[in-house]
Amino acid sequence: MTTRTHVFAATALTLALAPGLAAAPASAQSRDQIRAVGSSTVFPFTTAVAEAFGKTGKFKTPVVESTGTGGGLKLFCAGVGPAHPDIANASRRIKKSEIDQCAANGVTTMTELKIGYDGIALASSKKAAPVSLSTVVLWKALAKEVPVNGALVANPYRLWSDIDPSLPKTAIEVLGPPPTSGTRDTFNELAMLEGCRKVAEVAKAVPDEKAHERACMTIREDGAYVEAGENDNLIVQKLTANPNAFGVFGYSYLDQNRDTLQAARMDGVELTAETVAAGKYELARPLYIYVKNAHAGVIPGIREFVGEYTSERALGDDGYLVDKGLIPEPKALREAARVEAVNLTPLQF
């Protein structure tokens, strides 16, 4: 009995104390590891660069968090010093209000690097006649509720020609990714929300900002939009079988299947790497990273990391980021961006 008791007391004491010695508090610290936060769209690209950068062996592998663009910029702008991240990933340009917030917290200089684009293709079989769509047409074709005479009603459109007489007299059928997919998020934001914002009646019918957004991004469930799972190959098969249907893809996938697929023009603009880079094609958005200049030279490896990000082996036409779905800028622009980025030329507003 007593021995057991003592064993117990001893065990309890060791359990309690031994690790306690290790838990020495660490206060304001220096940091030898780059930290990046921000957009979940840029996350796969920045992590790929981080890993390649870490493998060079000179620096620790950067830590990348996926917090969303807004949350990332908020952390990024919270101050200068090792407690704050060095790099923010963003799927849109930084806003004036965010720059002001940054400045208020002492983050006065930062470098902007446009790494490339994230784009959506609305593709059909090569057998179909080429068409030109727009975000408004897409929204009207796919929204759950559309305005008729000023009130939102269940989507009445069955044929593309119901929306615009110049469009073909074929049933609306779009095969697209399920809500869990990142492509669907991009599609919702670039096509549905943008198209909806151009329809003034919606804002009038639903004045509340949040509800408005929800009304814009709710896709109809009566069979016109078919959730086709994550298997892009299956969508291609179905598009070949039904030339009247459209499929929603990421740009890189379309690019690899140009032999069987054609992309619909958006407002008359064809989908090519050039129109995307020129900002003419609507269903694409630029992706950025922001680097805190004050941290260069303090946190080791920031310049080298930016160098890796802009290197041809990452961003080039055969680079590993392109394999992961990024649309790179044309070569001349890339070169210029690389020089600016590596020199940490501050962003001017």
Partner 1 sequence: MTDLVEQDVAAVTPSPSPSSSPAKSRLRSEAFARRLRARHAAERRFRLAGAAAVALAALILVLLLGSIVAKGASAFLETRIRLEVTLDPAEVADRNYTALLRRALYAQFPQVTDRAGRRVLNDLLSSGAPYELEAMVARDPALVGTTRTVWVRADDQIDQLVKGGYRRDLPESERGLSDAKVAATDALLASGALAQGFNTTLFTAGDSREPEQAGIGGAIVGSLLTLLVTMALSVPVGISAAVYLEEFAPKNRWTDLIEVNINNLAAVPSIIFGLLGLAVFLGFFGMPRSAPLVGGLVMALMTLPVIIIASRVALKAVPPSIREAALGIGASPLQTVLHHVLPLAMPGILTGTIIGMARALGETAPLLMIGMVAFIVDIPHGLTDSATVLPVQIYMWADSPERAFTERTSAAILILLGVLILLNGAAVILRKIFERRW
* Interacting residues toward partner 1 by CB under 8 A: 4-5, 8-9, 12, 15-20, 22-29, 31, 33, 35, 37, 43-44, 47-48, 50-51, 54-55, 60-61, 63-66, 82-83, 85, 230, 233-234, 236-237
Residue with tokens 């983050």: 107
The nearer residue to partner 1, 222 or 323, going by C-beta atoms, is 323
Query: Which CB sits closer to partner 1, 257 or 310?
Result: 257
> CB-wise, 54 or 176, nearer to partner 1?
54
Instruction: Give 35 or 334: the residue with its C-beta nearer to partner 1.
Output: 35
Give the nearer residue to partner 1 in terms of CB position, either 65 or 162. Answer: 65
Give residues with Cβ within 8 angstroms of 89, minimum separation 6.
36, 37, 38, 39, 41, 42, 43, 46, 64, 69, 72, 287, 288, 289
Please, which residue, 24 or 332, has the CB nearer to partner 1? Answer: 24
Which CB sits closer to partner 1, 85 or 247? 85
Residue 22 C-beta: closest distance to partner 1, Å: 7
Distances (CA, A) of 327 to 2, 93, 117, 163: 73, 17, 5, 31
Least Cα distance to 196 among 177, 209, 179, 184 occurs for: 209
Two tokens, residue 37: 């936060």
Single out the residue of 52, 117, 132 nearest to residue 320, CA to CA: 52
In whole angstroms, the minimum distance from the beta carbon of 13 to partner 1 comes to 9
Beta strands at 261-263 and 110-125: parallel, antiparallel or unpaired: antiparallel
Q: How many CA atoms lie within 13 A of 206 on its CB side?
A: 17
Query: What backbone phi and psi angles, to 5 degrees, belong to 125?
Result: -65, 150
Measured from the CB atom, the residue of 34 and 216 that comes closer to partner 1 is 34
User: Whole-number minimum distance, CB 27 to partner 1, in Å?
Assistant: 6
- HSE-up of 134 (CA within 13 Å, CB side)? 13
Provide the minimum distance between the beta carbon of 300 and partner 1 in the complex, in angstroms, as a whole number.
14
- How far is Cα 327 from Cα 323, in angstroms, rounded to an integer? 10
Copy the structure tokens of residue 225: 């939009």
CA distances from 188 to 138, 142, 218 (A): 11, 11, 9
Q: How far is the CB of 65 from partner 1 (least distance, A)?
A: 4
d(CA 222, CA 232): 22
- C-alpha 193/C-alpha 300 separation (Å) is 41
- Shortest separation between residue 189's beta carbon and partner 1, angstroms: 19
CA distance 167 to 146: 18
